[in-house]
Amino acid sequence: MENNDVHVECLDRETTLSLCGAVLLYGTSQGNKYFASIHGVNVDKDGRVALEAGVQATVEGLTSMFECLLPEKEKECDFVPETILSFGVNHLAWWCPPRTRRAWFDCKKLGKKTAEVPYPGLVFIAKQRCLYVFAVKGNGRPKPETELYQAPVFNVGTEGGVCLGNSIPPEGFSIKSVGEWETVFFDSRFTHPDGHIESRLVLWKGGVYSFWEKMLAGEMSEFPEEVLVTTKRTVSEIITSITR
Protein backbone atom coordinates (compact mmCIF):
# COMPACT_ATOMS: atom_id res chain seq x y z
CA MET A 1 0.00 0.00 0.00
CA GLU A 2 1.47 3.39 -1.00
CA ASN A 3 1.99 6.20 1.48
CA ASN A 4 -0.81 8.36 0.06
CA ASP A 5 -3.24 5.47 0.59
CA VAL A 6 -2.99 5.74 4.37
CA HIS A 7 -4.32 9.30 4.52
CA VAL A 8 -7.72 10.64 3.48
CA GLU A 9 -8.60 14.28 2.95
CA CYS A 10 -12.11 15.06 4.22
CA LEU A 11 -14.65 16.97 2.18
CA ASP A 12 -14.07 20.09 4.28
CA ARG A 13 -10.52 20.19 2.80
CA GLU A 14 -9.23 21.07 6.25
CA THR A 15 -9.13 17.68 7.97
CA THR A 16 -6.84 14.79 7.10
CA LEU A 17 -7.48 11.33 8.54
CA SER A 18 -4.75 8.71 8.94
CA LEU A 19 -5.13 4.94 8.83
CA CYS A 20 -5.45 3.71 12.40
CA GLY A 21 -7.04 0.27 12.24
CA ALA A 22 -8.62 -2.43 10.11
CA VAL A 23 -11.66 -4.71 10.29
CA LEU A 24 -11.42 -8.14 8.66
CA LEU A 25 -14.62 -10.02 7.87
CA TYR A 26 -14.60 -13.81 7.43
CA GLY A 27 -17.54 -15.81 6.12
CA THR A 28 -18.56 -19.23 4.90
CA SER A 29 -19.05 -19.89 1.18
CA GLN A 30 -22.79 -20.19 1.88
CA GLY A 31 -22.80 -16.74 3.44
CA ASN A 32 -24.66 -17.88 6.53
CA LYS A 33 -21.93 -17.48 9.18
CA TYR A 34 -19.53 -14.62 9.74
CA PHE A 35 -16.66 -13.62 12.03
CA ALA A 36 -15.01 -10.21 12.33
CA SER A 37 -11.69 -9.23 13.85
CA ILE A 38 -10.26 -5.81 14.71
CA HIS A 39 -6.59 -5.05 14.00
CA GLY A 40 -4.21 -2.24 14.80
CA VAL A 41 -1.85 -1.20 12.00
CA ASN A 42 1.80 -0.26 11.67
CA VAL A 43 2.83 2.04 8.83
CA ASP A 44 6.56 2.27 8.07
CA LYS A 45 8.35 5.29 6.60
CA ASP A 46 7.73 4.02 3.07
CA GLY A 47 3.99 3.74 3.62
CA ARG A 48 3.87 -0.03 3.85
CA VAL A 49 1.13 -1.28 6.18
CA ALA A 50 1.36 -4.28 8.48
CA LEU A 51 -1.58 -5.59 10.49
CA GLU A 52 -1.12 -6.27 14.18
CA ALA A 53 -2.62 -9.31 15.87
CA GLY A 54 -6.40 -9.07 15.86
CA VAL A 55 -9.06 -9.45 18.50
CA GLN A 56 -12.61 -10.66 18.01
CA ALA A 57 -15.05 -7.87 17.22
CA THR A 58 -17.85 -7.37 19.72
CA VAL A 59 -21.32 -5.97 19.13
CA GLU A 60 -20.47 -3.05 21.40
CA GLY A 61 -17.25 -2.34 19.53
CA LEU A 62 -18.84 -2.50 16.08
CA THR A 63 -21.73 -0.34 17.26
CA SER A 64 -19.28 2.30 18.53
CA MET A 65 -17.43 2.18 15.23
CA PHE A 66 -20.58 2.71 13.17
CA GLU A 67 -21.69 5.53 15.46
CA CYS A 68 -18.37 7.27 14.73
CA LEU A 69 -19.04 6.92 10.99
CA LEU A 70 -22.55 8.39 11.13
CA PRO A 71 -23.04 11.95 9.88
CA GLU A 72 -23.33 14.43 12.72
CA LYS A 73 -27.04 15.03 12.07
CA GLU A 74 -27.77 11.33 12.68
CA LYS A 75 -25.92 11.26 16.00
CA GLU A 76 -28.56 13.42 17.63
CA CYS A 77 -30.68 11.67 20.25
CA ASP A 78 -34.30 11.30 19.19
CA PHE A 79 -37.30 11.00 21.48
CA VAL A 80 -38.97 7.69 20.61
CA PRO A 81 -42.71 8.29 20.16
CA GLU A 82 -45.35 5.69 20.94
CA THR A 83 -45.92 5.07 17.23
CA ILE A 84 -42.45 3.56 16.69
CA LEU A 85 -42.68 -0.25 16.86
CA SER A 86 -39.16 -1.33 15.93
CA PHE A 87 -35.96 0.21 14.58
CA GLY A 88 -32.44 -0.91 13.76
CA VAL A 89 -29.51 -0.23 11.45
CA ASN A 90 -31.45 -1.55 8.43
CA HIS A 91 -35.11 -0.79 9.14
CA LEU A 92 -37.77 1.32 10.80
CA ALA A 93 -41.29 0.14 11.69
CA TRP A 94 -44.11 2.34 12.94
CA TRP A 95 -47.86 2.53 13.38
CA CYS A 96 -50.42 5.09 12.21
CA PRO A 97 -53.66 5.12 14.23
CA PRO A 98 -56.97 5.13 12.30
CA ARG A 99 -57.75 8.56 10.89
CA THR A 100 -59.20 10.39 7.94
CA ARG A 101 -56.75 11.38 5.20
CA ARG A 102 -56.94 12.54 1.62
CA ALA A 103 -56.64 9.76 -0.95
CA TRP A 104 -55.64 10.28 -4.58
CA PHE A 105 -56.72 7.96 -7.37
CA ASP A 106 -55.72 7.87 -11.02
CA CYS A 107 -56.86 4.58 -12.55
CA LYS A 108 -58.91 3.46 -15.55
CA LYS A 109 -61.96 2.14 -13.68
CA LEU A 110 -62.27 4.93 -11.08
CA GLY A 111 -60.75 7.79 -13.06
CA LYS A 112 -58.95 10.72 -11.47
CA LYS A 113 -60.53 11.30 -8.08
CA THR A 114 -59.56 12.59 -4.67
CA ALA A 115 -61.43 12.75 -1.37
CA GLU A 116 -61.01 12.62 2.38
CA VAL A 117 -61.50 8.97 3.39
CA PRO A 118 -61.20 7.01 6.63
CA TYR A 119 -58.18 4.73 6.87
CA PRO A 120 -57.78 1.83 9.31
CA GLY A 121 -54.74 1.64 11.54
CA LEU A 122 -51.64 1.01 9.40
CA VAL A 123 -48.26 -0.53 10.14
CA PHE A 124 -45.36 0.64 7.96
CA ILE A 125 -41.94 -0.96 7.61
CA ALA A 126 -39.14 0.80 5.75
CA LYS A 127 -36.09 -1.24 4.76
CA GLN A 128 -33.31 -0.02 2.48
CA ARG A 129 -35.29 2.00 -0.10
CA CYS A 130 -38.41 -0.18 0.10
CA LEU A 131 -41.66 0.44 1.95
CA TYR A 132 -44.16 -2.12 3.23
CA VAL A 133 -47.63 -1.45 4.65
CA PHE A 134 -50.25 -3.54 6.46
CA ALA A 135 -53.55 -2.83 8.18
CA VAL A 136 -54.36 -3.44 11.83
CA LYS A 137 -57.67 -3.44 13.70
CA GLY A 138 -58.49 -1.22 16.66
CA ASN A 139 -57.22 2.10 17.97
CA GLY A 140 -54.55 0.79 20.32
CA ARG A 141 -50.83 0.55 19.69
CA PRO A 142 -50.10 -2.87 18.14
CA LYS A 143 -48.26 -5.48 20.22
CA PRO A 144 -45.84 -8.13 18.89
CA GLU A 145 -48.65 -10.69 18.87
CA THR A 146 -51.20 -8.40 17.17
CA GLU A 147 -52.59 -9.81 13.91
CA LEU A 148 -51.94 -7.85 10.72
CA TYR A 149 -54.14 -7.56 7.63
CA GLN A 150 -53.65 -6.85 3.96
CA ALA A 151 -53.58 -3.07 3.42
CA PRO A 152 -56.91 -2.40 1.64
CA VAL A 153 -55.41 0.05 -0.83
CA PHE A 154 -54.06 0.01 -4.37
CA ASN A 155 -50.34 -0.19 -5.29
CA VAL A 156 -49.59 -2.81 -2.60
CA GLY A 157 -48.56 -6.43 -3.29
CA THR A 158 -49.32 -9.66 -1.44
CA GLU A 159 -46.27 -9.32 0.81
CA GLY A 160 -47.08 -5.72 1.67
CA GLY A 161 -44.55 -4.13 -0.68
CA VAL A 162 -45.59 -0.69 -1.92
CA CYS A 163 -45.14 0.17 -5.58
CA LEU A 164 -43.47 3.58 -5.23
CA GLY A 165 -43.59 4.44 -8.92
CA ASN A 166 -41.63 7.65 -9.52
CA SER A 167 -41.67 8.63 -5.85
CA ILE A 168 -38.28 9.25 -4.27
CA PRO A 169 -37.98 7.58 -0.85
CA PRO A 170 -36.03 9.36 1.90
CA GLU A 171 -32.49 8.42 2.78
CA GLY A 172 -31.91 6.43 5.97
CA PHE A 173 -34.15 5.20 8.76
CA SER A 174 -34.00 7.86 11.44
CA ILE A 175 -37.16 8.40 13.46
CA LYS A 176 -37.35 11.85 11.94
CA SER A 177 -37.85 10.30 8.49
CA VAL A 178 -41.28 8.84 9.37
CA GLY A 179 -43.11 11.89 8.03
CA GLU A 180 -41.18 11.72 4.75
CA TRP A 181 -42.00 8.02 4.28
CA GLU A 182 -45.69 8.67 4.99
CA THR A 183 -45.73 11.51 2.47
CA VAL A 184 -44.32 9.15 -0.17
CA PHE A 185 -47.23 6.77 0.48
CA PHE A 186 -50.22 9.02 1.15
CA ASP A 187 -49.42 11.64 -1.50
CA SER A 188 -48.97 9.05 -4.25
CA ARG A 189 -51.70 8.30 -6.78
CA PHE A 190 -53.36 4.92 -6.35
CA THR A 191 -53.27 3.54 -9.88
CA HIS A 192 -54.06 -0.17 -9.67
CA PRO A 193 -54.73 -3.06 -7.29
CA ASP A 194 -52.04 -5.69 -7.60
CA GLY A 195 -53.62 -7.89 -10.33
CA HIS A 196 -53.26 -11.33 -8.77
CA ILE A 197 -54.69 -10.26 -5.40
CA GLU A 198 -57.44 -7.91 -6.58
CA SER A 199 -60.14 -10.21 -5.22
CA ARG A 200 -58.42 -10.42 -1.84
CA LEU A 201 -57.82 -6.73 -1.09
CA VAL A 202 -61.13 -6.40 0.76
CA LEU A 203 -63.98 -8.70 1.73
CA TRP A 204 -66.59 -6.71 -0.18
CA LYS A 205 -69.39 -8.22 -2.24
CA GLY A 206 -68.99 -5.79 -5.12
CA GLY A 207 -65.20 -6.04 -5.18
CA VAL A 208 -62.44 -3.57 -4.50
CA TYR A 209 -63.53 -0.99 -7.09
CA SER A 210 -67.08 -0.88 -5.71
CA PHE A 211 -65.66 -0.52 -2.21
CA TRP A 212 -63.47 2.43 -3.09
CA GLU A 213 -66.22 4.12 -5.10
CA LYS A 214 -68.29 4.22 -1.93
CA MET A 215 -65.32 5.39 0.12
CA LEU A 216 -64.57 8.23 -2.31
CA ALA A 217 -68.26 9.16 -2.39
CA GLY A 218 -68.13 9.76 1.36
CA GLU A 219 -70.56 6.95 2.23
CA MET A 220 -68.42 5.67 5.15
CA SER A 221 -67.57 7.83 8.13
CA GLU A 222 -65.33 5.15 9.63
CA PHE A 223 -63.33 2.40 8.00
CA PRO A 224 -65.30 -0.90 8.17
CA GLU A 225 -62.72 -3.22 9.71
CA GLU A 226 -64.77 -6.31 8.91
CA VAL A 227 -63.68 -6.03 5.25
CA LEU A 228 -59.98 -6.48 6.08
CA VAL A 229 -58.26 -9.63 4.79
CA THR A 230 -55.97 -11.32 7.29
CA THR A 231 -52.33 -12.10 6.51
CA LYS A 232 -52.48 -14.84 9.17
CA ARG A 233 -49.30 -13.35 10.62
CA THR A 234 -48.48 -11.13 13.59
CA VAL A 235 -46.60 -7.84 13.83
CA SER A 236 -43.54 -9.64 15.17
CA GLU A 237 -43.61 -12.31 12.45
CA ILE A 238 -43.91 -9.83 9.61
CA ILE A 239 -41.24 -7.43 10.89
CA THR A 240 -38.87 -10.36 11.39
CA SER A 241 -39.54 -11.81 7.92
CA ILE A 242 -38.93 -8.44 6.21
CA THR A 243 -35.86 -7.36 8.18
CA ARG A 244 -33.94 -10.60 8.63
Share of the chain above pLDDT 90, in %: 57
Across the chain, mean pLDDT equals 87
- Indicate if 125 and 210 belong to the same structural domain: yes
Between CA 236 and CA 148 the distance in angstroms is 10
pLDDT band at 8 (very low <50, low <70, confident <90, very high): low
Q: Which of 45, 69, 93 is the last residue of a domain?
A: 69
84, 81, 78: which is closest to 235 by C-alpha?
84
125 in a structural domain: yes
129, 100, 53: which is closest to 220 by C-alpha?
100
- Indicate if 184 and 88 belong to the same structural domain: yes
> How far is residue 5 from each of residues 2, 145, 207, measured CA to CA in Å?
5, 52, 63
Range of the domain at 30: 3-69
- Indicate if 207 and 89 belong to the same structural domain: yes
pLDDT in tens, 179-237: 999 999 999 999 998 766 777 789 999 899 999 999 999 999 999 999 999 999 999 99
Number of structural domains, the chain? 2
